[in-house]
Amino acid sequence: MAKILHKLSFLLELFFNGSFILIYSLYTNGKIPATWNEKFIGNTLDLIVWLVPAIIGLSVISNIFESKNPEDYLRKYSFSLLVFIPTLITWGDMEFTFLLAAAHLLSTVLSLYDEDAIPKKKDEVEESKFASLLKHIRLSSAQLVLLSFLGVILLGTFILMLPVSAAEGKTIGFVDALFTATSATCVTGLSTLSLNEYFSVFGQVVVLVLIQIGGLSIMTLYSSMAILLGRSMRMKDRIIMQDLLDVSSLEELFAMIINIVKYTFIIELWGGVVLTIAFTFEGFEFGKALYYGFFHSISAFCNAGFALFNNSLENYATNPLIHGTISVLIILGGIGFIALKELKELISREKTIVRLGMHTKIVLITTAVLIVGGSIFIFFGEFLGALDGYTLWEKIQISTFQSVTLRTAGFNTIPLTSLNKYTLYLMTMFMFIGGSPGSTAGGVKTTTLAILVQSIMSTLKGDKNVRMLDRTIPSPLVVRATALMFISILITSFFIFLMMKLEPDQDFLTLFFEAISASGTVGLTLGVTPYLSMFGKLAISALMLVGRIGPLTLILAIGERQKSSGKFDYPDGRIMIG
């Protein structure tokens, strides 16, 4: 009886909720065929909107009978209960019911592929070919991370295309929704549509959720949720996370995941509070200041660069409380969670500067050199150019912020089109380097640059070993850094060439800047993004994904245990170089 009720509730939900979602989407987008009676469609929607909560309620009841015990119910079907309660409170509200019905139907369909739902006994139901195929698929860590990002991007694209995600009188097409979802998940910040003008508050929150997921990375978020819910992680997931976070034991893994969630929450909360106060001083009402404060706090810490202002932060170029807080959030998000942990221990006097790990020292030194160097170059390069007309203190503020945001954040406090070409070219080099490993930033990473620079210096000195801070860098690590830099240059060069073919009417420097910004997941632009062709938008979307996944995938692939190629070692070969 329980199984019959469960199947009946699923069929009813598939028919009624599915019909309601389809008709309402067409109706609100003005795509109802002319042969249909509009009044009849409206009456049908009015009727179904009252049936949807009842059908979801039936699903909740059937799930109770289907579950073995309360714990099993909460583990499998708690989402249904969370959706059902708001539908009761807002019974009859068409837009809200549409949103909840879509979410519940999606969760119901996904639950069909739950491993616990697959029969374990041979005499119950014959195992499907699809399930049998899944068992034989062995995905590598890199492939699993890539598919995870793709899944989140496609889900985000679907949600952003819904009428509820668009501002009143606006519609969001597939390509623009895909571009925005990719940019948010890959924490880039490039956008073909203005968040403030084209997206509703719901759509903006969806973008913010995608930013948070992309910033923490899907696997970290999944692992943290598993720990918080008291569930054990599968062995394969543990191995993947140990590769991602560079830890050697399960205890270190759990401690690192907990620290990542804790530091993220505390830093974003601090940033949100300070920015709320700052926007309140700017004349925003408290509710709007609170929303803008936390949106920009999360966007800054995740190095995403999405802003709710059409000109980014140009209106607050000389407001130290706003751009200063954003700068601190960018730096904290860009140095990585390992460095954050050791800095916290330093502040609490559990460690001294001397006892900081080598990784943290290199990250801090390289980041400081890049920020100071970039600030000096922008300051003197634009002193009589884009910065002309500002006071000395204001020039220092703008130069420093623009240097900090090149750590792949993507905010700007001055129009980039007003900068000199040589300034823009140098900015692309800084964007390509990006942030640090284990952070929310993109790029080839600061440690990669440090290793390559030290490797060049060692070569010029005639040293066989690469040494940094009184330590020898292992040769395999130097090879990985070189490979990572070379492959990143190759991929970015290919996409620059592709963009030149796809967008022949655009200036080379503009496309060059756009491609570097996308590959480094920075988000700065010279204003060409909204005017790209459909294929240009798709190419930049692909490059953003490669920029977020590529270096990570390469590291994971190289990090796999080497398989023995045989019992024989081949003799060394001599090749002349240089």
Query: Averaging pLDDT over each range in 77-81, 241-245, 295-299, which range is the top one?
Result: 295-299
87 and 205 share one domain: no
Clarify whether residues 79 and 221 are in a common domain: no
The pLDDT of 369-397, averaged and rounded, is: 93
For residue 542, tell me if it sits in a domain: yes
Residue 37 belongs to some domain of the structure = yes
Q: How far is CA 357 from the centre of its chain?
A: 28
My answer on whether 103 and 189 are in the same domain is no
What is the residue whose two structure tokens read 């989407």? 25
Residue 139: inside a domain, yes or no?
no
The dihedral built from the CA positions of residue 315, 522, 183 and 436, taken in this order, carries a sign that is negative
* 344 three-class SS: helix
309/521 Cα distance (integer angstroms): 20
Q: Give me the mean pLDDT over the 73-84 stretch.
A: 66
Residue 431: inside a domain, yes or no?
yes
pLDDT of residue 569: 66
Q: What are phi and psi of 467, to 5 degrees?
A: -120, 140
Q: What is the 3-state secondary structure (H, E, C) of 490-516?
A: HHHHHHHHHHHHHCCCCCHHHHHHHHH
Query: Of 48, 82, 112, at which residue does a domain stop?
Result: 112
Query: Three-state SS across 536-552?
Result: HHHHHHHHHHHHHHHHH
Question: 256 or 235: whose pLDDT is higher?
Answer: 256
Same domain (yes/no): 191, 61: no
In a domain, 203, yes or no: yes
Cα distances from 251 to residues 132, 234, 340, 498, in angstroms, run 34, 15, 19, 46
Which segment, 118-127, 348-357, 389-398, is predicted with the most confidence on average?
389-398
Under the banding of pLDDT at 50, 70 and 90, the label for residue 124 is very low
User: Which helix (H) or strand (E) is 471 found in, with range?
Assistant: strand 471-473
> Could you read off the pLDDT of 428-443 as tens digits, one per residue?
999 999 888 878 888 8
| CA separation for the pair 424, 96 (Å, rounded) | 46
Q: Which residues contact 266 (CB under 8 A, 6 or more apart)?
A: none
Q: What mean pLDDT comes out for the span 51-78?
A: 72
Count of domains observed in the chain: 2
Residue 576 in any domain: the answer is: no
pLDDT at residue 82, rounded to an integer: 67
Are 190 and 288 in the same domain?
Answer: yes
Average confidence (pLDDT) over 380-386 = 92
Confidence of residue 76 (pLDDT cuts 50, 70, 90): low
* CB 540 within 8 Å of CB 532: yes
Same domain flag for 416 and 529: yes
**Would you state the structure tokens that stand for residue 344, as one six-digit string?**
């916290």
Judge whether 135 lies within some domain.
Answer: no
pLDDT of 316: 94
- Same domain for 421 and 553, yes or no, is yes
Q: Is the pLDDT of residue 109 over 90?
A: no
Q: Which of 220-224, 248-252, 322-326, 501-505 is predicted least confidently?
A: 220-224
Q: What residue numbers bound the domain in which 25 lies?
A: 1-112
Residue 41 exposed, middle or buried by CB count within 10 Å (0-12, 13-18, 19+):
middle
- pLDDT above 50 (res 120): no
Q: How high does pLDDT run on average in the chain?
A: 79
Q: Is the pLDDT of residue 178 over 60?
A: yes
Q: Are residues 290 and 429 in the same domain?
A: yes
pLDDT over 90, % of the chain: 36
- pLDDT digit string, tens, across residues 211-224: 988 887 654 554 44
Q: Which residue has the higher pLDDT, 100 or 321?
A: 321
Check whether residue 439 and residue 551 sit in a common domain.
yes
Average pLDDT over residues 39-55: 75
Q: Residue 525's closest CA among 542, 503, 547, 540?
A: 540
Q: SS3 of 325, please?
A: helix
* Residue 179 token pair: 């571009």
Q: Are residues 97 and 201 in the same domain?
A: no
Q: Is 246 a member of any domain?
A: yes
More confident residue, 115 or 418: 418
Residue 562 has pLDDT above 50, yes or no: no
Segment 239-292, tens digit of pLDDT: 555 555 555 555 666 677 777 778 888 999 999 999 999 999 999 999 999 999
Domain boundary, last residue among 64, 89, 112: 112
Same domain for 103 and 242: no
Asked if residue 222 and residue 85 are part of one domain, the reply reads no
Q: Which of 50, 79, 112 is the last residue of a domain?
A: 112
